[in-house]
Structure 1
């Protein structure tokens, strides 16, 4: 160790980079989830929340809640805010609050005055506090009026901070906050309207919180309310953060494993440089185990140093990310350490170092002293003894096991690890295939090209190292780029062309005829589809409470909160029956339900099973009559559950409608939106292209994070490539000196090296495109069920990147070799 770290800088960089990525990602994840747990009361604006859909709590239910403490009611729905002259309108996320809001936390507004004063009635209109974005969209300023439903409101301020915004969930439109009294004047809350009533409690005795959920279910078994406590204030956000963190951790682990190739190269080159020392040890009687232990301890010391550097970098990633995310997501403020995240990263780093170091250590042990002294390539031609192979395999298995055990979705972890392992095997075969083809290539007249082809297949060639080191990083980058490109192409190209122009929500039965007539006038070429719409929450399958069931990650969204449901006499036109039978149009028997096939398989349901759903405070049990396919990607009207018409006979409900007219111009769409808002102020209109623009923005933000993580893997690949080329410079030095002695010019040697690196870079790029294309196709077409296509721009960038990296790094490394004088090198041969 007193000899310094020469030869181990690539080793250190590879370990530090991978450990830093894993430590940073997990620290940020724990910062967010920890903040959600510690700030649960503020994020929920209560100790516990009871949410009802489409109805208020009964007097008896309200008295029950008030017996536990102070109750605050907030009402959430979407609606259209419009200018008094009817010239413009915008979708808003409406939230009506009472005088007790918020029970915890602080609502901040501009101007900073009490919320009750801002929402009070003045000059015959109630006040409203809005998001600044709404002012920009409608060209309003504080003091102006706007219309909402049948009421006129005065904009009295803008929202700065809303304590329970995270627990309320993501909104596609700007926030508008008003009082419960003001909401009653709008006429928006009608029978069947999509309205969420949230009762938030500040308990007089917090110790009663654990028993309150059970007590509410016992007292009101058919209330159908969704209950959430402050220790789980934002379950959807927590789940998404955990899932995204898992994905980025796996990408970081890939970077670490890619760096493992660099670790193996560094160890091999280091042991090669120590061949005379090892020979002396063996000649003096040192057993192979002592030699291996000496260098294993040294490698462990250097590994620990790299891990410490990586952990230090990872520790500072969390506060930097927290600063960037503040105001967007709940984060832990200030500097904080997350021991579990750091320990996981350190363990990954140590196991990776050992897994890739054992094999070259074992190979060095096996070579006799005479071979070490006489043959500098001997260490590369011998396999390690079986105990070293077994130890390396155990480390790889431990890496995989820890990845799976710490993952939120084990299937994703298994798939990811299998893909990486498969890529390693294929890359080895690609390297061997390139060498095989080069060996059997026809003789060419160009001396430089002939020399380059020979360098590709000769003993000790760089081919396997270059293909393996660069291939995996490029393949990962191609995969993510193609997924991102296809997804954004769908959102901005083909999907808007196939999707409806508008969704219309909360159409009352009394408005249906007039709505149809107006749409026929405004968009005569459009196809109008309308279905009855209710909201319900799944409580049980076959009598078993779903909250106590273990559900596959892909179907958890079905059971999370309320779902839109409908009834139909005939099979919906965008569905296909795959199992079971559809009920007759005049069916009057027991309640039946048609379930989406994919979600039913995830939930392990079968034909004949029963589903209990709470709708409007009533528990309804229906038998599954059939499974059908659902084209979610079409953005048409789709439901997980479609019931037989007799199930909801007499139940109040609204209607949901879409209009599809691919030929409609933006001006015609704007005119239609204005006409609907004027004629039916309580109908909510959602322009699909506007919603897709918001989703596209979110996808772009996520893609930035994913590309940053993938860039870590690519940087690791570049480091490994540089290390592999540096390790081969000793042999290159001998070759260059001999060839120059025989009359080769520097220009000839440079051309030979450029040809060699270009062939290797092109081979690696072609593999990366093929492997990344297959992986992206699987994710897009099989998991996302979207059309997948190969993007030429991604192919072009990959080819250029591979050629620039291999040729550039190769020439940088060999330029110094070409400048060495011949005499000192010839004396060593």
Structure 2
């Protein structure tokens, strides 16, 4: 017997140097990428998702920045609620550039017997649009379409209004006290996105027509926006910033809400950043799930290269150098997969540009984003390194003799500490990139922690399953006994299958619960809790007559009416609103104007949680009650001073109490409720709701709206179902994008599943050949493997449903803050599909093995 071959303690010089390692790695790759298909596909899929999302987001962001003036209608926009600018305020703006104005409000368009509908009114001056163009069908000059002819003002309406009321160009509708002729369909308006989401179709008219309607009353919910174009000699970013600062300091009490071309649509920009982060995290999930496929592929690579490892170590290469050569080779393959993903991700916005443009009302021009693509590449390479270093590191200390012999049972030892440290550093780098480039680092940190915990849990589940399989009594049926042994033997597929399936089922289950909860929130609770209508701009002098009108139209129905104004928070104590560091969930309270009211008693749907309510006959300093949740978000406490601007007046009130508000009731509630003495004598309108009576008696919705438009032309009715449908349209579009991106993560899970089964194919080939030689039938072998795959898949699916339920509950209740609906049908279907796919994939591979003749393989085993 020959003595075992020992590697030289001092390797020759030819085995040193990074250049040689690279040359040897490239030479080895000349044989092709066989065995790396799933490796490359997993990386390409995850990188493509991240790159595509980042590139599309950059295109939208740059479109907003580039078209900021057109979207805003000028270099800066100054808005007031309830009132027009005073001559002094207007002179201040006109002294600094060219000013144009628009007025926006909601109203009712009455088409007589054809019905009435809520519309979003935009009243423009003769200069509109000062930037961009309005497209109509038929196309004509806007001033001519809106001018007064034969005693009728013209208007242009969204096609939705024509369809809703069965109208055509030339027909006449009544808005308030004026009759308007609809002269064209409104195809597009350049500043549409700046107005935000509306609950009704757009109705474009002149400001003279709006004044003729009589809708402009003291306290009416109308917004006047003044667009300022700076002269070319003073239009730099520094000049614009100086202008905004001057208005904020010199006209602080005016109550301006100011936007500049740099933040023409701040709400959309924030939502875009949040959504981009979410989809990026979904892409990172696909990448991490695919990392398991990377690890499987590297294990197969190490298995196939054992003879090469042994040969190199036998002629003097150190274990570290062998690992370095093949790690270089693996990372070169990772670069190929990453490059494919980058190419597909960069091309996606160009291919999907038309679809994106049709869904989002924002300027979008596909663009290459080198910075975002570099981050996506970093994600891919770091993921490959994290999942490849441990399988490769195991080969360092295996002796040459073990490398030749170890054909079935893998070495259970951990690799050297240096490889563990390298893996930890790569993992820290991956987490650092995810957190460092996140819009909300808190969410990214939570995500990293959750994913790490899920990986550990799935690993524990797989180890627990294997331990249980070792200890339970052996079944009498041979196929079951073999399946049980396969699930815990050395090199078993259990860890890989549990990880890939568990993550996939968890993701599907979480999406299912989120989808069901959102749908139920928008529709399920509506008939039982929500009012049928909200009525806006009810004149105070006609409030009693309006109450009688509702009682006549909806006998027995529950009605509620409160005074309403709009105000903007200016400061908390001595801190300006724009300087307050509010939480992500409460920042909206400080963004623009909010509805406010006053009340002598605690409003229905609220309860005082801190402090005390004021007496009904209170006459002291102004007091305010604030929503407790949002008060915590902006750092507001009992006793603090809150300054708001209402109707151009600045009012400071002391926080007397904090309320817990049930926002999900769809009832009338406000963030801020003031003591009645705060607004003594101030002009205001009323807000009312009506909730259908249990017996459903009274006029139909359509009849009520027609009668309302005749008897109260200044009152606007918002049908709750219509409003929810408008919101639901947006939610549906977002859900489609989420499902599409999540589908990529599911695809990664399927790739990993296929890779895990392929990784175990060599051991299964050995087993099958031995069993066939010993007389086992194909049916016996197939049934034993089917039992094994089904058992592992079932355990992984059960864990995935539990984890997905927990994740869905957390997102629904803690992030979305809506009621969690426990409807497990979607999760159960996902789990069933996962088990079926596992068995199917496994048996397809087994059938291929069984089709081979034993003799040719037994000679080489």
TM-score bin (small chain): over 0.9
* Selected match of 1:213 from 244, 251, 263: 244
* Selected match of 2:283 from 247, 252, 255: 252
Cα drift, residue 812 of structure 1? 1.6
Indicate conservation of the 8 Å contact 1:737/1:825, yes or no: yes
SS at match of 1:92: strand
Cα drift, residue 549 of structure 1? 2.8
Cα drift, residue 32 of structure 1? 0.6
CA distance in 2, matches of 1:332, 1:693: 25
Cα drift, residue 723 of structure 1? 0.6
Cα drift, residue 320 of structure 1? 2.6
Cα drift, residue 672 of structure 1? 2.5
Cα drift, residue 219 of structure 1? 2.5
SS at match of 2:563: strand
2:760 corresponds to 1:728: yes
C-alpha spacing 1:566/1:332, structure 2 compared with 1 (3 Å)? closer
Cα drift, residue 709 of structure 1? 0.9
Cα drift, residue 446 of structure 1? 2.2
SS at match of 2:654: strand
SS at match of 2:267: helix
Q: Which runs of 5 or more residues in structure 2 are unaligned?
A: 1-28
Cα drift, residue 380 of structure 1? 4.3
2:493 corresponds to 1:462: yes
Within 5 Å, give how 1:262-273 maps onto structure 2.
262-273=293-304
2:560 corresponds to 1:532: no
CA distance in 2, matches of 1:518, 1:704: 43
C-alpha spacing 1:145/1:268, structure 2 compared with 1 (3 Å)? same
2:14 maps to which residue? none
SS at match of 1:534: strand
CA distance in 1, matches of 2:279, 2:665: 29
Cα drift, residue 677 of structure 1? 2.3
Within 5 Å, give how 1:698-713 maps onto structure 2.
698-713=730-745
Within 5 Å, give how 1:215-254 maps onto structure 2.
215-254=246-285
Q: Which runs of 5 or more residues in structure 1 are unaligned?
A: none
2:180 corresponds to 1:153: yes
* Selected match of 1:684 from 710, 716, 729: 716
Pairs aligned (count) = 828
CA distance in 1, matches of 2:443, 2:330: 32
2:5 maps to which residue? none
2:430 maps to which residue? 399
2:481 maps to which residue? 450
1:30 maps to which residue? 58
2:587 corresponds to 1:556: yes
Cα drift, residue 828 of structure 1? 2.7
2:770 corresponds to 1:738: yes
1:654 maps to which residue? 685
Cα drift, residue 437 of structure 1? 2.4
2:441 maps to which residue? 410
* Selected match of 2:798 from 760, 766, 771: 766
Cα drift, residue 785 of structure 1? 3.0
2:95 maps to which residue? 67
1:748 maps to which residue? 780
CA distance in 1, matches of 2:503, 2:757: 17
User: Which range is displaced more, 794-803 or 346-355?
Assistant: 794-803
CA distance in 2, matches of 1:310, 1:319: 15
SS at match of 1:364: coil
TM-score by length of 2: 0.94
CA distance in 1, matches of 2:252, 2:485: 80
2:304 corresponds to 1:276: no
CA distance in 1, matches of 2:528, 2:733: 24
2:33 maps to which residue? 5
Indicate conservation of the 8 Å contact 1:677/1:683, yes or no: yes
Indicate conservation of the 8 Å contact 2:115/2:705, yes or no: no
1:48 maps to which residue? 76
2:353 corresponds to 1:322: yes
1:77 maps to which residue? 105
2:826 maps to which residue? 794
Indicate conservation of the 8 Å contact 2:110/2:116, yes or no: yes
Within 5 Å, give how 1:414-425 maps onto structure 2.
414-425=445-456
CA distance in 2, matches of 1:743, 1:801: 34
1:101 maps to which residue? 128
Cα drift, residue 96 of structure 1? 0.2
1:603 maps to which residue? 634
* Selected match of 1:167 from 185, 189, 194: 194
CA distance in 2, matches of 1:475, 1:665: 47
SS at match of 1:141: coil
* Selected match of 1:357 from 388, 400, 405: 388
Indicate conservation of the 8 Å contact 1:483/1:779, yes or no: yes
Indicate conservation of the 8 Å contact 1:526/1:660, yes or no: yes
SS at match of 2:118: strand
2:141 corresponds to 1:111: no
Indicate conservation of the 8 Å contact 2:512/2:827, yes or no: no
SS at match of 1:528: strand
2:813 maps to which residue? 781
Indicate conservation of the 8 Å contact 1:292/1:365, yes or no: yes
